[in-house]
Protein backbone atom coordinates (compact mmCIF):
# COMPACT_ATOMS: atom_id res chain seq x y z
CA UNK A 1 0.00 0.00 0.00
CA UNK A 2 2.95 2.32 0.66
CA UNK A 3 3.96 2.19 -3.01
CA UNK A 4 0.49 3.34 -4.09
CA UNK A 5 0.51 6.23 -1.64
CA UNK A 6 4.03 7.16 -2.68
CA UNK A 7 3.08 7.11 -6.38
CA UNK A 8 0.00 9.24 -5.73
CA UNK A 9 1.87 11.80 -3.63
CA UNK A 10 4.75 12.13 -6.11
CA UNK A 11 2.52 12.33 -9.23
CA UNK A 12 0.00 14.80 -7.80
CA UNK A 13 2.66 16.72 -5.88
CA UNK A 14 4.83 17.17 -8.96
CA UNK A 15 1.95 18.65 -10.95
CA UNK A 16 0.76 20.88 -8.11
CA UNK A 17 4.24 22.18 -7.32
CA UNK A 18 5.43 22.76 -10.89
CA UNK A 19 2.18 24.28 -12.18
CA UNK A 20 2.65 27.76 -10.67
CA UNK A 21 6.09 27.99 -12.32
CA UNK A 22 5.47 26.10 -15.55
CA UNK A 23 2.24 27.84 -16.62
CA UNK A 24 3.74 31.40 -16.56
CA UNK A 25 6.64 30.07 -18.68
CA UNK A 26 4.14 28.80 -21.25
CA UNK A 27 2.64 32.30 -21.25
CA UNK A 28 6.07 33.86 -21.84
CA UNK A 29 6.77 31.46 -24.70
CA UNK A 30 3.33 32.32 -26.13
CA UNK A 31 2.35 28.64 -26.25
CA UNK A 32 -1.31 29.60 -26.44
CA UNK A 33 -4.18 27.41 -27.61
CA UNK A 34 -5.65 28.27 -31.00
CA UNK A 35 -9.45 27.85 -30.92
CA UNK A 36 -11.13 26.55 -34.08
CA UNK A 37 -13.56 29.02 -35.64
CA UNK A 38 -16.06 26.22 -36.33
CA UNK A 39 -16.25 25.39 -32.61
CA UNK A 40 -18.77 26.87 -30.15
CA UNK A 41 -18.63 30.68 -30.13
CA UNK A 42 -18.28 30.70 -26.33
CA UNK A 43 -14.90 28.96 -26.66
CA UNK A 44 -13.29 31.87 -28.49
CA UNK A 45 -12.66 33.48 -25.09
CA UNK A 46 -10.26 30.61 -24.35
CA UNK A 47 -7.96 31.56 -27.23
CA UNK A 48 -4.43 32.15 -25.95
CA UNK A 49 -4.80 29.94 -22.85
CA UNK A 50 -1.48 28.09 -22.48
CA UNK A 51 -1.43 24.55 -23.83
CA UNK A 52 1.05 21.63 -23.59
CA UNK A 53 0.34 21.37 -19.86
CA UNK A 54 0.40 17.64 -20.45
CA UNK A 55 4.17 17.86 -20.01
CA UNK A 56 3.59 18.27 -16.26
CA UNK A 57 1.20 15.31 -16.13
CA UNK A 58 3.41 12.89 -18.05
CA UNK A 59 6.59 13.88 -16.20
CA UNK A 60 4.75 13.43 -12.89
CA UNK A 61 3.49 9.97 -13.90
CA UNK A 62 6.89 8.88 -15.18
CA UNK A 63 8.82 10.01 -12.09
CA UNK A 64 6.22 8.54 -9.70
CA UNK A 65 6.21 5.20 -11.53
CA UNK A 66 10.01 4.91 -11.66
CA UNK A 67 10.26 5.71 -7.94
CA UNK A 68 7.33 3.69 -6.59
CA UNK A 69 6.94 0.70 -8.94
CA UNK A 70 9.34 -2.22 -9.50
CA UNK A 71 11.10 -1.82 -12.85
CA UNK A 72 9.46 -4.84 -14.49
CA UNK A 73 9.15 -5.48 -18.22
CA UNK A 74 5.46 -4.59 -17.97
CA UNK A 75 6.26 -1.20 -16.43
CA UNK A 76 8.95 -0.47 -19.02
CA UNK A 77 6.51 -1.34 -21.82
CA UNK A 78 3.68 0.71 -20.27
CA UNK A 79 5.98 3.74 -19.97
CA UNK A 80 7.19 3.20 -23.55
CA UNK A 81 3.62 3.23 -24.86
CA UNK A 82 2.74 6.36 -22.88
CA UNK A 83 5.95 8.23 -23.69
CA UNK A 84 5.77 7.21 -27.37
CA UNK A 85 2.35 8.85 -27.62
CA UNK A 86 3.70 11.78 -25.58
CA UNK A 87 6.34 12.41 -28.27
CA UNK A 88 3.68 12.29 -30.99
CA UNK A 89 1.46 14.69 -29.05
CA UNK A 90 4.35 17.04 -28.27
CA UNK A 91 5.34 17.20 -31.95
CA UNK A 92 1.72 17.82 -32.90
CA UNK A 93 1.40 20.68 -30.39
CA UNK A 94 4.82 22.10 -31.24
CA UNK A 95 3.97 22.31 -34.94
CA UNK A 96 0.61 23.95 -34.19
CA UNK A 97 1.76 26.37 -31.51
CA UNK A 98 5.35 27.21 -32.46
CA UNK A 99 5.39 26.62 -36.21
CA UNK A 100 1.86 28.08 -36.51
CA UNK A 101 0.63 25.19 -38.68
CA UNK A 102 -2.93 24.79 -37.46
CA UNK A 103 -3.33 21.08 -38.23
CA UNK A 104 -0.11 19.89 -36.59
CA UNK A 105 1.15 16.47 -37.60
CA UNK A 106 -0.43 15.00 -40.71
CA UNK A 107 -2.79 12.07 -40.09
CA UNK A 108 -0.40 9.71 -41.93
CA UNK A 109 2.54 10.81 -39.77
CA UNK A 110 0.58 10.33 -36.56
CA UNK A 111 -0.69 6.93 -37.69
CA UNK A 112 2.83 5.80 -38.62
CA UNK A 113 4.04 6.71 -35.14
CA UNK A 114 1.16 4.80 -33.52
CA UNK A 115 1.80 1.75 -35.72
CA UNK A 116 5.48 1.72 -34.66
CA UNK A 117 4.48 1.90 -30.99
CA UNK A 118 1.92 -0.88 -31.49
CA UNK A 119 4.41 -3.15 -33.29
CA UNK A 120 7.01 -2.75 -30.52
CA UNK A 121 4.27 -3.42 -27.95
CA UNK A 122 3.19 -6.62 -29.69
CA UNK A 123 6.75 -7.92 -30.12
CA UNK A 124 7.69 -7.33 -26.47
CA UNK A 125 4.27 -8.43 -25.24
CA UNK A 126 4.29 -11.76 -27.04
CA UNK A 127 8.01 -12.56 -26.88
CA UNK A 128 8.89 -11.36 -23.37
CA UNK A 129 5.61 -11.19 -21.44
CA UNK A 130 3.93 -14.23 -22.94
CA UNK A 131 0.77 -12.37 -23.94
CA UNK A 132 -1.27 -14.71 -26.11
CA UNK A 133 -3.63 -13.90 -28.97
CA UNK A 134 -6.85 -14.47 -27.05
CA UNK A 135 -9.50 -11.88 -26.29
CA UNK A 136 -11.48 -12.09 -23.04
CA UNK A 137 -15.22 -11.48 -23.35
CA UNK A 138 -16.41 -10.14 -19.96
CA UNK A 139 -20.14 -10.98 -20.11
CA UNK A 140 -19.55 -14.51 -21.38
CA UNK A 141 -16.41 -14.83 -19.20
CA UNK A 142 -14.64 -16.74 -21.94
CA UNK A 143 -11.51 -16.34 -24.05
CA UNK A 144 -11.52 -16.47 -27.84
CA UNK A 145 -8.29 -16.99 -29.76
CA UNK A 146 -8.37 -14.69 -32.78
CA UNK A 147 -4.86 -15.60 -33.94
CA UNK A 148 -3.06 -13.06 -36.08
CA UNK A 149 -6.14 -10.87 -35.93
CA UNK A 150 -5.11 -9.99 -32.36
CA UNK A 151 -2.29 -7.81 -33.68
CA UNK A 152 -4.72 -5.71 -35.68
CA UNK A 153 -6.95 -5.62 -32.61
CA UNK A 154 -4.12 -4.24 -30.45
CA UNK A 155 -3.43 -1.54 -33.03
CA UNK A 156 -7.15 -0.69 -33.07
CA UNK A 157 -7.26 -0.43 -29.25
CA UNK A 158 -4.14 1.72 -29.10
CA UNK A 159 -5.08 4.09 -31.91
CA UNK A 160 -8.70 4.20 -30.77
CA UNK A 161 -7.95 4.94 -27.11
CA UNK A 162 -5.31 7.62 -27.74
CA UNK A 163 -7.42 9.44 -30.32
CA UNK A 164 -10.62 9.08 -28.25
CA UNK A 165 -9.04 10.73 -25.20
CA UNK A 166 -7.70 13.40 -27.55
CA UNK A 167 -11.25 14.09 -28.77
CA UNK A 168 -12.54 14.16 -25.18
CA UNK A 169 -10.14 16.98 -24.34
CA UNK A 170 -12.49 19.73 -25.49
CA UNK A 171 -13.90 21.17 -22.26
CA UNK A 172 -12.18 22.38 -19.10
CA UNK A 173 -11.46 19.39 -16.87
CA UNK A 174 -13.32 16.86 -19.02
CA UNK A 175 -10.40 14.73 -20.17
CA UNK A 176 -8.38 15.01 -16.94
CA UNK A 177 -11.41 14.04 -14.83
CA UNK A 178 -12.56 11.11 -16.97
CA UNK A 179 -9.01 9.78 -17.30
CA UNK A 180 -8.59 10.01 -13.51
CA UNK A 181 -11.74 7.90 -13.05
CA UNK A 182 -10.68 5.35 -15.69
CA UNK A 183 -7.14 5.09 -14.28
CA UNK A 184 -8.45 4.66 -10.72
CA UNK A 185 -10.63 1.82 -11.99
CA UNK A 186 -7.66 0.22 -13.70
CA UNK A 187 -5.70 0.45 -10.45
CA UNK A 188 -8.38 -1.77 -8.87
CA UNK A 189 -8.52 -4.05 -11.93
CA UNK A 190 -4.73 -4.50 -11.85
CA UNK A 191 -4.79 -5.37 -8.15
CA UNK A 192 -7.61 -7.88 -8.62
CA UNK A 193 -5.71 -9.53 -11.48
CA UNK A 194 -2.35 -9.63 -9.68
CA UNK A 195 -0.61 -6.85 -11.61
CA UNK A 196 0.52 -4.80 -8.61
CA UNK A 197 3.24 -3.04 -10.63
CA UNK A 198 0.71 -1.80 -13.20
CA UNK A 199 -1.61 -0.81 -10.35
CA UNK A 200 1.06 1.65 -9.17
CA UNK A 201 1.33 3.02 -12.72
CA UNK A 202 -2.47 3.45 -12.89
CA UNK A 203 -2.48 5.16 -9.49
CA UNK A 204 0.15 7.63 -10.70
CA UNK A 205 -1.96 8.43 -13.78
CA UNK A 206 -5.06 9.09 -11.67
CA UNK A 207 -3.19 11.23 -9.13
CA UNK A 208 -1.43 13.33 -11.78
CA UNK A 209 -4.77 14.02 -13.51
CA UNK A 210 -6.42 15.00 -10.22
CA UNK A 211 -3.51 17.35 -9.52
CA UNK A 212 -3.86 18.83 -12.99
CA UNK A 213 -7.51 19.64 -12.31
CA UNK A 214 -6.24 22.32 -9.93
CA UNK A 215 -5.23 24.30 -13.04
CA UNK A 216 -7.51 22.76 -15.67
CA UNK A 217 -10.95 22.93 -14.01
CA UNK A 218 -13.26 25.64 -15.37
CA UNK A 219 -12.09 28.29 -16.04
CA UNK A 220 -8.91 26.55 -17.16
CA UNK A 221 -5.57 28.24 -16.62
CA UNK A 222 -3.86 25.68 -18.86
CA UNK A 223 -4.81 22.93 -21.32
CA UNK A 224 -3.06 19.55 -21.51
CA UNK A 225 -2.93 19.70 -25.33
CA UNK A 226 -2.26 16.71 -27.55
CA UNK A 227 0.93 16.35 -25.51
CA UNK A 228 -1.17 15.14 -22.61
CA UNK A 229 -4.30 13.67 -24.21
CA UNK A 230 -2.55 11.36 -26.69
CA UNK A 231 -0.16 10.16 -23.98
CA UNK A 232 -2.93 9.55 -21.45
CA UNK A 233 -4.96 7.70 -24.08
CA UNK A 234 -1.89 5.59 -24.81
CA UNK A 235 -1.43 4.92 -21.08
CA UNK A 236 -5.03 3.72 -20.73
CA UNK A 237 -4.57 1.51 -23.81
CA UNK A 238 -1.39 0.09 -22.26
CA UNK A 239 -3.28 -0.88 -19.11
CA UNK A 240 -6.00 -2.55 -21.18
CA UNK A 241 -3.56 -4.51 -23.35
CA UNK A 242 -1.17 -5.57 -20.58
CA UNK A 243 -4.06 -6.83 -18.40
CA UNK A 244 -5.83 -8.44 -21.37
CA UNK A 245 -8.99 -6.43 -20.65
CA UNK A 246 -9.24 -4.73 -24.03
CA UNK A 247 -12.98 -5.42 -24.38
CA UNK A 248 -13.65 -4.17 -20.85
CA UNK A 249 -12.15 -0.85 -21.94
CA UNK A 250 -15.46 -0.14 -23.69
CA UNK A 251 -16.98 0.33 -20.21
CA UNK A 252 -13.96 1.75 -18.38
CA UNK A 253 -13.46 4.28 -21.16
CA UNK A 254 -17.15 4.65 -22.02
CA UNK A 255 -17.05 8.44 -22.39
CA UNK A 256 -13.97 8.22 -24.63
CA UNK A 257 -15.79 5.69 -26.83
CA UNK A 258 -18.89 7.90 -27.05
CA UNK A 259 -16.80 10.92 -28.02
CA UNK A 260 -15.06 9.00 -30.82
CA UNK A 261 -18.27 7.37 -32.08
CA UNK A 262 -20.05 10.74 -32.19
CA UNK A 263 -17.39 12.06 -34.58
CA UNK A 264 -17.52 8.93 -36.75
CA UNK A 265 -21.34 9.03 -36.91
CA UNK A 266 -21.39 12.77 -37.64
CA UNK A 267 -18.87 12.52 -40.48
CA UNK A 268 -20.50 9.40 -41.98
CA UNK A 269 -23.97 10.93 -41.84
CA UNK A 270 -22.91 14.25 -43.36
CA UNK A 271 -20.96 12.60 -46.18
CA UNK A 272 -23.74 10.15 -47.05
CA UNK A 273 -26.88 12.25 -46.50
CA UNK A 274 -25.70 15.83 -46.09
CA UNK A 275 -27.36 15.92 -42.66
CA UNK A 276 -25.85 16.09 -39.18
CA UNK A 277 -26.95 13.77 -36.38
CA UNK A 278 -25.58 16.02 -33.63
CA UNK A 279 -25.60 19.81 -33.31
CA UNK A 280 -21.81 19.52 -33.25
CA UNK A 281 -19.30 16.78 -32.60
CA UNK A 282 -17.58 15.56 -30.47
CA UNK A 283 -20.72 14.95 -28.46
CA UNK A 284 -19.83 17.26 -25.54
CA UNK A 285 -20.36 20.19 -27.94
CA UNK A 286 -23.82 18.81 -28.82
CA UNK A 287 -24.92 19.28 -25.21
CA UNK A 288 -23.22 22.69 -24.98
CA UNK A 289 -25.15 23.96 -27.98
CA UNK A 290 -28.29 22.49 -26.43
CA UNK A 291 -27.98 24.97 -23.57
CA UNK A 292 -25.97 23.06 -20.97
CA UNK A 293 -23.25 24.99 -19.19
CA UNK A 294 -19.70 23.76 -19.66
CA UNK A 295 -19.53 22.70 -16.02
CA UNK A 296 -22.81 20.75 -16.29
CA UNK A 297 -21.56 18.80 -19.31
CA UNK A 298 -18.31 17.95 -17.52
CA UNK A 299 -20.05 16.91 -14.30
CA UNK A 300 -22.59 14.70 -16.10
CA UNK A 301 -19.87 13.07 -18.21
CA UNK A 302 -17.76 12.43 -15.09
CA UNK A 303 -20.81 10.83 -13.43
CA UNK A 304 -21.53 8.58 -16.42
CA UNK A 305 -17.88 7.53 -16.55
CA UNK A 306 -17.98 6.67 -12.85
CA UNK A 307 -21.15 4.57 -13.27
CA UNK A 308 -19.77 2.59 -16.22
CA UNK A 309 -16.47 2.04 -14.39
CA UNK A 310 -18.36 0.57 -11.40
CA UNK A 311 -20.24 -1.66 -13.86
CA UNK A 312 -16.90 -2.80 -15.31
CA UNK A 313 -15.62 -3.75 -11.85
CA UNK A 314 -18.81 -5.70 -11.20
CA UNK A 315 -18.17 -7.74 -14.36
CA UNK A 316 -14.84 -8.86 -12.90
Task: Round to whole Å and give the CA distance between 178 and 255.
Answer: 8
141 is in an annotated binding site: no
Number of Cα atoms under 13 Å in the Cβ half of residue 32: 12
Residues 6+ away with beta carbon under 8 Å from 57: 15, 176, 208, 209, 212, 224, 228, 231, 232
226 is in an annotated binding site: yes
Task: Round to whole Å and give the CA distance between 54 and 227.
Answer: 5
Task: Round to whole Å and give the CA distance between 198 and 190.
Answer: 6
3-state secondary structure the chain: CHHHHHHHHHHHHHHHHHHHHHHHHHHHCCCECCCCCCCCHHHHHHCCCECCCHHHHHHHHHHHHHHHCCCCHHHHHHHHHHHHHHHHHHHHHHHHHCCCCCCCCCHHHHHHHHHHHHHHHHHHHHHCCCCCCEEEECCCCEEEECCCHHHHHHHHHHHHHHHHHHHHCCCCCHHHHHHHHHHHHHHHHHHHCCCHHHHHHHHHHHHHHHHHHHHHCCCCCCCCHHHHHHHHHHHHHHHHHHCCCCCCHHHHCHHHHHHHHHHHHHHHHHHHHCCCCCCCCCHHHHHHHCCCCHHHHHHHHHHHHHHHHHHHHHHC
Binding-site residue numbers for Mg(2+) are: 166, 226
Binding-site residue numbers are: 166, 226
Amino acid sequence: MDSFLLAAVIAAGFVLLTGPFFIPELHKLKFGQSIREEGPASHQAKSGTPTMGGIMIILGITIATLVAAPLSTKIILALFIMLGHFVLGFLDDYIKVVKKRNLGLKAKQKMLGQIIIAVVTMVIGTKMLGIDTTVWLPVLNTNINIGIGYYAFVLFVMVGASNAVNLTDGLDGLASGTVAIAASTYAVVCMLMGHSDLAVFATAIAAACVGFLRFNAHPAKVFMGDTGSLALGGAIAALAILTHTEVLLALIGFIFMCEALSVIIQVASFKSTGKRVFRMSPIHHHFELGGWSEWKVVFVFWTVQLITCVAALMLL
